[in-house]
Amino acid sequence: MLAFLIRRITQSAVVLLVMSVLVFVGVFYIGNPIDILIAPDASPAEYARAVRDLGLDKPLWEQYFIFLKGALHGNFGNSFVYNEPALKIILNRLPATLELAFTAMFMAVFLGIPLGMVAGIQHDNWIGRNIMRFSILGFSLPTFWVGLMMIIVFSVHLGWLPSGGRGPTTEFLGMQVSFLSWKGLTYLILPATNLALFKTSLAIRLSRAGVQENLQMDYVKFARAKGLSNTRIIGLHVMKNIMIPVITVLGMELGNLIAFAVVTETIFAWPGMGKLVIDSIGVLDRPIIVAYLLITVTMFIIINLIVDVLYSILDPRVRLGDER
Protein backbone atom coordinates (compact mmCIF):
# COMPACT_ATOMS: atom_id res chain seq x y z
CA MET A 1 0.00 0.00 0.00
CA LEU A 2 2.73 2.44 1.01
CA ALA A 3 4.82 1.48 -2.02
CA PHE A 4 1.77 2.03 -4.19
CA LEU A 5 1.12 5.44 -2.67
CA ILE A 6 4.71 6.57 -3.09
CA ARG A 7 4.78 5.36 -6.69
CA ARG A 8 1.49 7.05 -7.52
CA ILE A 9 2.48 10.34 -5.92
CA THR A 10 5.84 10.37 -7.72
CA GLN A 11 4.08 9.54 -10.97
CA SER A 12 1.56 12.32 -10.39
CA ALA A 13 4.33 14.82 -9.67
CA VAL A 14 6.07 13.90 -12.94
CA VAL A 15 2.79 14.24 -14.85
CA LEU A 16 2.19 17.65 -13.32
CA LEU A 17 5.71 18.82 -14.10
CA VAL A 18 5.49 17.67 -17.71
CA MET A 19 2.08 19.29 -17.96
CA SER A 20 3.35 22.57 -16.56
CA VAL A 21 6.22 22.71 -19.10
CA LEU A 22 3.89 21.75 -21.93
CA VAL A 23 1.20 24.21 -21.00
CA PHE A 24 3.57 27.04 -20.20
CA VAL A 25 5.65 26.71 -23.35
CA GLY A 26 2.58 26.00 -25.48
CA VAL A 27 0.59 28.92 -24.19
CA PHE A 28 3.66 31.14 -24.57
CA TYR A 29 3.82 30.39 -28.29
CA ILE A 30 0.16 30.96 -29.10
CA GLY A 31 0.63 34.62 -29.60
CA ASN A 32 2.14 37.64 -28.03
CA PRO A 33 -0.28 38.82 -25.36
CA ILE A 34 1.30 42.27 -25.33
CA ASP A 35 -0.22 43.12 -28.73
CA ILE A 36 -3.66 42.56 -27.31
CA LEU A 37 -3.14 44.30 -24.00
CA ILE A 38 -1.44 47.49 -25.07
CA ALA A 39 -3.05 50.24 -27.11
CA PRO A 40 -1.88 50.21 -30.74
CA ASP A 41 -0.75 53.84 -30.51
CA ALA A 42 1.50 53.30 -27.47
CA SER A 43 4.98 54.77 -27.75
CA PRO A 44 7.99 52.41 -27.95
CA ALA A 45 9.01 53.42 -24.41
CA GLU A 46 5.59 52.50 -23.01
CA TYR A 47 5.70 49.26 -24.97
CA ALA A 48 9.13 48.36 -23.57
CA ARG A 49 7.99 49.16 -20.07
CA ALA A 50 4.89 46.99 -20.39
CA VAL A 51 7.02 44.09 -21.70
CA ARG A 52 9.40 44.51 -18.78
CA ASP A 53 6.59 44.76 -16.21
CA LEU A 54 5.05 41.54 -17.44
CA GLY A 55 8.47 39.82 -17.47
CA LEU A 56 8.15 39.02 -21.16
CA ASP A 57 11.67 40.22 -22.03
CA LYS A 58 13.43 37.37 -20.23
CA PRO A 59 14.35 34.12 -22.02
CA LEU A 60 11.66 31.44 -22.03
CA TRP A 61 13.39 29.04 -19.63
CA GLU A 62 13.93 31.80 -17.10
CA GLN A 63 10.28 32.80 -17.33
CA TYR A 64 9.38 29.16 -16.79
CA PHE A 65 11.51 28.84 -13.65
CA ILE A 66 10.14 32.08 -12.23
CA PHE A 67 6.69 30.70 -12.97
CA LEU A 68 7.43 27.28 -11.44
CA LYS A 69 8.86 28.81 -8.28
CA GLY A 70 5.81 31.02 -7.98
CA ALA A 71 3.40 28.16 -8.78
CA LEU A 72 4.81 26.05 -5.95
CA HIS A 73 4.04 28.97 -3.65
CA GLY A 74 0.55 29.30 -5.08
CA ASN A 75 1.49 32.32 -7.14
CA PHE A 76 0.62 31.95 -10.82
CA GLY A 77 1.31 35.56 -11.64
CA ASN A 78 -1.12 38.39 -12.13
CA SER A 79 -3.88 38.14 -14.69
CA PHE A 80 -3.14 40.35 -17.70
CA VAL A 81 -6.75 41.45 -17.83
CA TYR A 82 -7.78 41.87 -14.20
CA ASN A 83 -4.30 42.69 -12.85
CA GLU A 84 -4.96 40.54 -9.81
CA PRO A 85 -3.35 37.22 -8.79
CA ALA A 86 -4.60 34.50 -11.19
CA LEU A 87 -5.09 32.02 -8.36
CA LYS A 88 -7.28 34.47 -6.47
CA ILE A 89 -9.50 35.08 -9.48
CA ILE A 90 -9.89 31.36 -10.09
CA LEU A 91 -10.63 30.61 -6.44
CA ASN A 92 -13.22 33.38 -6.50
CA ARG A 93 -14.95 31.59 -9.34
CA LEU A 94 -14.57 28.14 -7.79
CA PRO A 95 -17.69 28.20 -5.55
CA ALA A 96 -19.95 28.87 -8.55
CA THR A 97 -18.52 25.88 -10.40
CA LEU A 98 -18.65 23.64 -7.35
CA GLU A 99 -22.25 24.61 -6.66
CA LEU A 100 -23.17 23.73 -10.22
CA ALA A 101 -21.25 20.44 -10.13
CA PHE A 102 -22.65 19.33 -6.78
CA THR A 103 -26.21 20.27 -7.73
CA ALA A 104 -25.79 18.25 -10.92
CA MET A 105 -24.40 15.33 -8.94
CA PHE A 106 -27.30 15.57 -6.50
CA MET A 107 -29.77 15.46 -9.39
CA ALA A 108 -27.98 12.50 -10.96
CA VAL A 109 -28.14 10.55 -7.70
CA PHE A 110 -31.70 11.39 -6.72
CA LEU A 111 -33.19 11.15 -10.21
CA GLY A 112 -30.91 8.61 -11.85
CA ILE A 113 -30.86 5.90 -9.21
CA PRO A 114 -34.66 5.71 -8.64
CA LEU A 115 -35.33 5.88 -12.39
CA GLY A 116 -32.75 3.19 -13.01
CA MET A 117 -34.27 0.97 -10.33
CA VAL A 118 -37.72 1.41 -11.87
CA ALA A 119 -36.25 0.56 -15.28
CA GLY A 120 -34.64 -2.53 -13.79
CA ILE A 121 -37.84 -3.77 -12.16
CA GLN A 122 -40.14 -2.84 -15.06
CA HIS A 123 -37.64 -3.80 -17.73
CA ASP A 124 -40.19 -5.43 -20.03
CA ASN A 125 -42.86 -2.73 -20.30
CA TRP A 126 -43.15 0.76 -21.72
CA ILE A 127 -42.00 2.55 -18.53
CA GLY A 128 -38.68 0.74 -18.45
CA ARG A 129 -38.16 1.08 -22.18
CA ASN A 130 -38.87 4.82 -22.13
CA ILE A 131 -36.47 5.37 -19.25
CA MET A 132 -33.80 3.52 -21.21
CA ARG A 133 -34.57 5.58 -24.33
CA PHE A 134 -34.11 8.73 -22.27
CA SER A 135 -30.76 7.48 -21.01
CA ILE A 136 -29.57 6.62 -24.53
CA LEU A 137 -30.45 10.14 -25.62
CA GLY A 138 -28.67 11.56 -22.59
CA PHE A 139 -25.57 9.66 -23.61
CA SER A 140 -25.46 10.49 -27.27
CA LEU A 141 -26.62 14.10 -27.46
CA PRO A 142 -23.88 16.71 -27.11
CA THR A 143 -24.29 18.68 -23.87
CA PHE A 144 -24.17 22.07 -25.56
CA TRP A 145 -26.92 21.08 -27.97
CA VAL A 146 -29.25 20.08 -25.16
CA GLY A 147 -28.42 23.33 -23.35
CA LEU A 148 -29.33 25.29 -26.44
CA MET A 149 -32.65 23.50 -26.73
CA MET A 150 -33.37 24.15 -23.05
CA ILE A 151 -32.80 27.86 -23.55
CA ILE A 152 -35.05 27.92 -26.61
CA VAL A 153 -37.86 26.00 -24.90
CA PHE A 154 -37.78 27.20 -21.30
CA SER A 155 -36.54 30.74 -21.54
CA VAL A 156 -37.17 32.08 -25.05
CA HIS A 157 -40.38 30.24 -25.88
CA LEU A 158 -42.06 29.64 -22.52
CA GLY A 159 -40.28 32.37 -20.60
CA TRP A 160 -40.28 30.34 -17.39
CA LEU A 161 -36.62 30.42 -16.45
CA PRO A 162 -33.78 32.87 -17.04
CA SER A 163 -31.45 31.89 -19.87
CA GLY A 164 -28.17 32.77 -18.25
CA GLY A 165 -26.19 34.38 -15.48
CA ARG A 166 -26.27 33.47 -11.83
CA GLY A 167 -28.82 35.82 -10.33
CA PRO A 168 -28.82 36.86 -6.69
CA THR A 169 -26.66 34.89 -4.28
CA THR A 170 -26.81 34.44 -0.54
CA GLU A 171 -23.96 33.92 1.84
CA PHE A 172 -23.62 30.35 3.14
CA LEU A 173 -20.59 29.06 5.10
CA GLY A 174 -18.58 31.98 3.80
CA MET A 175 -19.41 31.24 0.15
CA GLN A 176 -21.87 32.89 -2.20
CA VAL A 177 -24.52 30.36 -3.23
CA SER A 178 -27.68 30.52 -5.32
CA PHE A 179 -29.68 27.56 -4.09
CA LEU A 180 -30.93 29.23 -0.90
CA SER A 181 -33.16 31.83 -2.49
CA TRP A 182 -36.05 31.09 -4.83
CA LYS A 183 -34.82 33.62 -7.38
CA GLY A 184 -31.30 32.17 -7.29
CA LEU A 185 -32.71 28.69 -7.70
CA THR A 186 -34.46 29.64 -10.93
CA TYR A 187 -31.05 30.58 -12.36
CA LEU A 188 -29.55 27.30 -11.19
CA ILE A 189 -32.15 24.88 -12.57
CA LEU A 190 -31.34 24.97 -16.29
CA PRO A 191 -27.53 24.79 -16.08
CA ALA A 192 -27.59 22.13 -13.38
CA THR A 193 -30.08 19.99 -15.33
CA ASN A 194 -27.95 20.39 -18.42
CA LEU A 195 -24.80 19.31 -16.63
CA ALA A 196 -26.61 16.48 -14.82
CA LEU A 197 -28.04 14.91 -17.97
CA PHE A 198 -25.05 12.74 -18.81
CA LYS A 199 -24.48 11.59 -15.25
CA THR A 200 -28.19 10.88 -14.77
CA SER A 201 -28.08 8.61 -17.82
CA LEU A 202 -25.04 6.90 -16.37
CA ALA A 203 -26.72 6.43 -12.97
CA ILE A 204 -29.82 5.00 -14.70
CA ARG A 205 -27.76 2.42 -16.55
CA LEU A 206 -25.69 1.43 -13.55
CA SER A 207 -28.61 1.05 -11.15
CA ARG A 208 -30.73 -0.77 -13.74
CA ALA A 209 -27.96 -3.30 -14.27
CA GLY A 210 -27.47 -3.51 -10.49
CA VAL A 211 -31.14 -4.19 -9.82
CA GLN A 212 -31.36 -6.84 -12.50
CA GLU A 213 -28.26 -8.57 -11.17
CA ASN A 214 -29.31 -8.38 -7.52
CA LEU A 215 -32.87 -9.61 -8.09
CA GLN A 216 -31.41 -12.98 -9.15
CA MET A 217 -29.42 -13.35 -5.95
CA ASP A 218 -30.06 -15.77 -3.13
CA TYR A 219 -30.58 -13.11 -0.51
CA VAL A 220 -33.57 -11.74 -2.45
CA LYS A 221 -35.07 -15.24 -2.72
CA PHE A 222 -34.51 -15.70 0.99
CA ALA A 223 -36.15 -12.38 1.81
CA ARG A 224 -39.11 -13.34 -0.37
CA ALA A 225 -39.33 -16.72 1.40
CA LYS A 226 -39.33 -14.88 4.69
CA GLY A 227 -42.40 -13.06 3.44
CA LEU A 228 -40.96 -9.56 3.28
CA SER A 229 -42.89 -7.11 1.15
CA ASN A 230 -41.59 -6.26 -2.29
CA THR A 231 -41.20 -2.61 -1.32
CA ARG A 232 -38.99 -3.55 1.59
CA ILE A 233 -36.86 -5.98 -0.42
CA ILE A 234 -36.21 -3.48 -3.18
CA GLY A 235 -36.25 -0.29 -1.16
CA LEU A 236 -33.93 -1.56 1.52
CA HIS A 237 -31.97 -4.69 0.68
CA VAL A 238 -31.44 -4.32 -3.05
CA MET A 239 -30.99 -0.57 -2.71
CA LYS A 240 -28.13 -0.99 -0.24
CA ASN A 241 -26.33 -3.39 -2.52
CA ILE A 242 -26.54 -1.31 -5.66
CA MET A 243 -25.62 1.94 -3.96
CA ILE A 244 -21.94 1.06 -3.44
CA PRO A 245 -20.90 0.63 -7.09
CA VAL A 246 -23.16 3.44 -8.33
CA ILE A 247 -21.84 5.93 -5.79
CA THR A 248 -18.24 4.90 -6.50
CA VAL A 249 -18.60 5.44 -10.21
CA LEU A 250 -20.41 8.74 -9.70
CA GLY A 251 -17.68 9.83 -7.28
CA MET A 252 -15.11 9.20 -9.97
CA GLU A 253 -17.24 11.28 -12.33
CA LEU A 254 -17.11 14.32 -10.05
CA GLY A 255 -13.93 15.49 -11.73
CA ASN A 256 -15.60 14.99 -15.10
CA LEU A 257 -18.43 17.25 -14.00
CA ILE A 258 -15.99 20.02 -13.18
CA ALA A 259 -14.34 19.62 -16.59
CA PHE A 260 -17.66 19.48 -18.45
CA ALA A 261 -18.84 22.54 -16.57
CA VAL A 262 -16.75 24.46 -19.14
CA VAL A 263 -19.43 23.78 -21.74
CA THR A 264 -22.47 24.34 -19.54
CA GLU A 265 -21.06 27.51 -18.02
CA THR A 266 -20.34 28.98 -21.45
CA ILE A 267 -23.88 28.31 -22.69
CA PHE A 268 -25.63 29.64 -19.61
CA ALA A 269 -23.12 32.44 -18.90
CA TRP A 270 -22.62 30.93 -15.45
CA PRO A 271 -19.76 32.83 -13.81
CA GLY A 272 -17.61 29.83 -12.87
CA MET A 273 -14.07 28.69 -13.60
CA GLY A 274 -15.02 27.12 -16.92
CA LYS A 275 -16.46 30.32 -18.34
CA LEU A 276 -13.43 32.16 -17.02
CA VAL A 277 -10.96 29.90 -18.84
CA ILE A 278 -12.88 30.06 -22.13
CA ASP A 279 -12.98 33.86 -21.90
CA SER A 280 -9.28 33.90 -20.99
CA ILE A 281 -8.33 31.74 -23.97
CA GLY A 282 -10.17 34.26 -26.12
CA VAL A 283 -8.08 37.19 -24.84
CA LEU A 284 -4.90 35.12 -24.24
CA ASP A 285 -4.83 35.87 -20.52
CA ARG A 286 -1.92 33.51 -20.06
CA PRO A 287 -1.60 33.28 -16.24
CA ILE A 288 -5.28 32.37 -15.91
CA ILE A 289 -5.16 29.69 -18.61
CA VAL A 290 -2.04 28.09 -17.16
CA ALA A 291 -3.33 28.27 -13.59
CA TYR A 292 -6.74 26.85 -14.52
CA LEU A 293 -5.28 23.92 -16.43
CA LEU A 294 -2.78 23.06 -13.70
CA ILE A 295 -5.35 23.39 -10.91
CA THR A 296 -7.87 21.23 -12.77
CA VAL A 297 -5.30 18.55 -13.58
CA THR A 298 -4.14 18.53 -9.94
CA MET A 299 -7.74 18.16 -8.75
CA PHE A 300 -8.16 15.26 -11.14
CA ILE A 301 -5.05 13.48 -10.02
CA ILE A 302 -6.05 13.86 -6.38
CA ILE A 303 -9.64 12.67 -6.98
CA ASN A 304 -8.41 9.64 -8.92
CA LEU A 305 -5.91 8.77 -6.23
CA ILE A 306 -8.49 9.04 -3.44
CA VAL A 307 -10.98 6.93 -5.39
CA ASP A 308 -8.38 4.22 -6.07
CA VAL A 309 -7.31 4.07 -2.45
CA LEU A 310 -10.89 4.14 -1.11
CA TYR A 311 -11.90 1.45 -3.53
CA SER A 312 -9.21 -0.91 -2.36
CA ILE A 313 -10.19 -0.27 1.24
CA LEU A 314 -13.93 -0.77 0.60
CA ASP A 315 -13.54 -3.81 -1.59
CA PRO A 316 -10.62 -6.05 -0.61
CA ARG A 317 -10.93 -7.99 -3.86
CA VAL A 318 -9.55 -4.99 -5.76
CA ARG A 319 -5.80 -5.07 -5.90
CA LEU A 320 -3.84 -1.89 -6.41
CA GLY A 321 -2.04 -2.09 -9.73
CA ASP A 322 1.57 -2.16 -8.59
CA GLU A 323 2.34 -5.80 -9.22
CA ARG A 324 3.06 -6.24 -12.89
Partner 1 sequence: MAVQNESLLWQAIKEYFESRVATIGLILLAVIVSVALLAPYISPQNPYDLMSIDIMDSKLAPGSKSMDEAVTYVLGTDSQGRDMLSSILYGLRISLGVGVVSTIIALIIGSIIGLWAAYRGGKTDAFIMRTVDLQLSFPAILVALILLAILGKGIDKIILALVIVQWAYYARAIRSNVLVERNKEYVEAAKCLALPQRRIMFGHVLPNCTPELIVISTVKVAGAIALEATLSFLGLGMPITKPSLGLLIANGFKYLQSGYYWISVYPGVALLVLIVCINLVGDRLRDVLNPRLKR
* 117-142 core/surface letters (b: 16 or more CB in 10 A; e: else): bbbbbebeeeebeebbebbeebeeee
The candidate with the shortest Cα–Cα distance to 190, out of 159, 215, 232, is 159
Q: Which of 6, 21, 60, 149 lies at the binding interface for partner 1 (CB under 8 A)?
A: 149
Q: Which of 163, 212, 241, 248 lies at the binding interface for partner 1 (CB under 8 A)?
A: 163
If binding is defined by CB under 8 A, does position 316 make contact with partner 1? Answer: no
Site string (13-32) toward partner 1, x via CB under 8 A:
--x---x--xx--xx-xxx-
Closest approach of Cβ 270 to partner 1, in Å? 14
DSSP, res 140: H
**Residues near 320 by beta carbon (within 8 Å), at least 6 away in sequence:** 1, 4, 308, 309, 312
Sign of the Cα torsion 195, 197, 200, 205 reads negative
Closest approach of Cβ 317 to partner 1, in Å? 19
Pair 147, 269: CB distance under 8 Å:
no
- Chain centroid offset of residue 210 CA: 25
Closest approach of Cβ 256 to partner 1, in Å? 5
Closer to partner 1 at the Cβ: 152 or 180? 152
Closer to partner 1 at the Cβ: 85 or 255? 255
Closer to partner 1 at the Cβ: 217 or 302? 302
If binding is defined by CB under 8 A, does position 297 make contact with partner 1? Answer: yes
**Residues near 24 by beta carbon (within 8 Å), at least 6 away in sequence:** 63, 64, 67, 290
Pair 158, 165: CB distance under 8 Å:
no
Q: Which of 3, 48, 60, 156 lies at the binding interface for partner 1 (CB under 8 A)?
A: 156
Looking at this protein, which amino acid is placed at residue 169? Answer: T
If binding is defined by CB under 8 A, does position 145 make contact with partner 1? Answer: yes
If binding is defined by CB under 8 A, does position 141 make contact with partner 1? Answer: yes
Closest approach of Cβ 218 to partner 1, in Å? 27
Beta strands in the chain (DSSP E): 170-172, 175-177
Q: What residues numbered 251-280 form the site for partner 1, per CB under 8 A?
A: 255-256, 259-260, 262-263, 266-267, 277-278
Closer to partner 1 at the Cβ: 22 or 180? 22
Q: Which run of H or E residues covers position 136?
A: helix 126-140
Site string (65-104) toward partner 1, x via CB under 8 A:
----------------------------------------
Query: Which range, of 83-91, 177-185, 296-304, 309-317, touches partner 1 by CB under 8 A?
Result: 296-304
Conformation bin of residue 231: beta by default, left when phi > 0, alpha when psi is -120 to 50: alpha
The CA distance from 93 to 276, in Å, is: 8
Closest approach of Cβ 150 to partner 1, in Å? 11
- Chain centroid offset of residue 111 CA: 19
If binding is defined by CB under 8 A, does position 295 make contact with partner 1? Answer: no
**Would you tell me which residues interact with partner 1 (CB under 8 A)?**
11, 15, 19, 22-23, 26-27, 29-31, 140-145, 148-149, 151-152, 156, 163, 255-256, 259-260, 262-263, 266-267, 277-278, 281-282, 289, 293, 296-297, 300, 304, 324
